[in-house]
Structure formats: structure tokens, C-alpha cells
Chain A
């Protein structure tokens, strides 16, 4: 060490590429959330009611089922990197930070998988059981 300031050492090397990737994925998934959440809220307004029968047969149709699965993916991905930023901003102790990030990954991957499985089950059991 001792060769100039920190910024002098990194200047000209370009980015580390992790940050921009994170930033871009936050935006790609934000667009997914925007389009698909508006679809879901629009569906709520257009469906005759929000009872079990109506919703179960709605999500049994291929297009709503796929849209709902994509929404779960987009939401959990967006939330995972969003909450990662939160943890990185406020949890500074290395051990705690590692634990928080590990828990976050378990919760979001597990939650997303559960959500997708539920929609698939509704769709593949062919509507109101």
C-alpha cells in the first residue's frame, strides 16, 4: 500500500461491474413489477368478484397462470436485491451481515418457489376443485 490515495489506485480501471449489474436488475425487475402488478390490479377490478371459485378458475387459465408466475419471480427478485441494499446500508458487523444476507436468500428463494408452486398447482389441477 502507500501508492497514492484510494481513488488514485482505482481511477481508470473501470467499474467492478457488480454494482451496475445490481442496479440494472433492480430496474429490469421494476419494469416487470410495474407491468404485471398493473395487470393483477386490473384483473381484480375486471373480475366479477374475488371469491375462491372465480380466482381459482382465473388462475387455471394459461395466460393468467403464466403472468402470475412471472409476477412472483419478478417481485421476489426485486425484493431480494432491494432488501440486500437495506442490509448493506444498516448492518455493518461482518458476521451479522453475512447471516442477514444468508437469511434473505433463503427467504426469498424459498418464498418465490412456494408462490410459483401454488400457482402451478392451481393451474394444473384445472380450476375450481
Chain B
């Protein structure tokens, strides 16, 4: 195998929107599988263990930003809590992004959407619609 010739196009290509959707599908899927499922289990485990465990879960993953302490060692914990909040919002973005590129997979699987213009259109539209859905979801959740 090692002395087989390599295709020259391994190093000659330029970015296109379909490549972005492809890599985003992988990154968001793997991100959710590794981080999202761990948090899901913590959430379910906390629910099954009772109110105190559930408070501890929400205290870490969805802290009240206004009540964070910013002195001494607490700065470290507060930074972590802000980071975890970003992770939660990031996971919702990952879900909607993966959902749309997954739906795009379904369309491509039946052999549709390969015309250059159509393919380009939906490659750009999927991640954009995903950002809109993420914003819409949080707007509905926080403003209800």
C-alpha cells in the first residue's frame, strides 16, 4: 500500500459550502455524542436522585449568572459555569445544525439535490436555517 501513487487532488482543492456542511455534520454529531449524551445522563440521573441532586445539576449547567461570585477561588468556578452555559447553548446549535445536515443527507440519499446550483443552495441554507432555529428556540424558551 505504502508505495501506491496518491491522487494529486489530495492537496489541490478549494473550500466550498458542501465541505463545510460535511465537516459540520461530523463535528456536531460527535460533539453531541461525546458531550451531549454525558450531560443528558447527568440530567436524568439527577432527576432520578431527587431535588437536591437536580439543584446541583442546574446550579452547574445553568447557573444564575447574576448570582455568581467573582472573588478568590470562586472566580474559577464562576468562569466554569459561564463556560458550561455556552456549552448548553452550543449543544442546541449542534442539534439544529446536525438535524438540518441530516435531513439534507436524506434528500441526497434518494438521489436528489446533486445539481450544482441546488446543492450549493442547500449547503448554504442548512447551517443558516439552523442558526435561526437555535435563536428561535431560546427566544421561545426564555421569553415564555
Q: What mask results when residues 101 to 129 of chain A are scored 1 for a CB within 8 Å of chain B, else 0?
A: 00000000001001101110110000001
Instruction: Give the residues from 9 to 68 in chain B that come closer than 8 angstroms, CB to CB, to chain A.
Output: 26, 29-30, 32-34, 37-38, 40-41, 44-45, 47-48, 50-51, 54-55
Contacts A76-B37, A115-B44 given; indicate if A82 touches B29 (C-beta within 8 A). Answer: yes
Q: Which residues of B contact A118 (CB under 8 A)?
A: 41, 44-45, 47-48
A41 touching B137, Cβ below 8 Å: yes
B6: interface (CB < 8 Å): no
Q: Which residue of B lies closest to A46 (CB)?
A: B144
Give CA–CA (A121, B30) in the complex, Å: 29
Bitwise, A23-53 to B at CB < 8 A (1) or not (0) is 0000100100010010001001100000011
* Interface secondary structure of B, over-half rule: helix
| A30→B99 CA distance, assembly (Å) | 9
- Pair A79/B33 contact, Cβ less than 8 Å: yes
Is B113 at the interface (CB under 8 A from chain A)? Answer: no
Evaluate contact between A82 and B45: CB separation under 8 angstroms: no
Task: Name the interface size band of chain A.
Answer: 20 to 34
What residues of A have a CB within 8 angstroms of the CB of B116 in the complex? none
* Assembled-state Cα–Cα distance A81/B44 (Å): 23
Indicate with 1 or 0, residue by residue over B91-126, a CB within 8 angstroms of chain A CB atoms. Answer: 000010001001101100100000000000000000
In the complex, what's the smallest C-beta–C-beta distance from B86 to chain A, in angstroms? 19
Q: B140 interface residue, CB < 8 Å from A?
A: yes
A52 and B102 contact, Cβ closer than 8 Å, known pairs A45-B144, A111-B41, A114-B41: no
CA distance A111 to B40 in the complex (A): 10
Is B73's beta carbon under 8 Å from chain A? no
B2 to chain A, nearest CB (A): 13
Residue of A nearest to B54 (CB): A52
Partner-B contacts on A (CB < 8 A)? 27, 30, 34, 37, 41, 44-45, 52-53, 55-56, 59, 68, 72, 75-76, 79, 82-83, 86, 111, 114-115, 117-119, 121-122, 129
Residues in chain B within 8 A of chain A (CB atoms): 26, 29-30, 32-34, 37-38, 40-41, 44-45, 47-48, 50-51, 54-55, 95, 99, 102-103, 105-106, 109, 137, 140-141, 144
Q: Which 6 A-B pairs have the closest CB atoms?
A: A79-B33, A118-B48, A118-B44, A52-B54, A52-B51, A121-B48
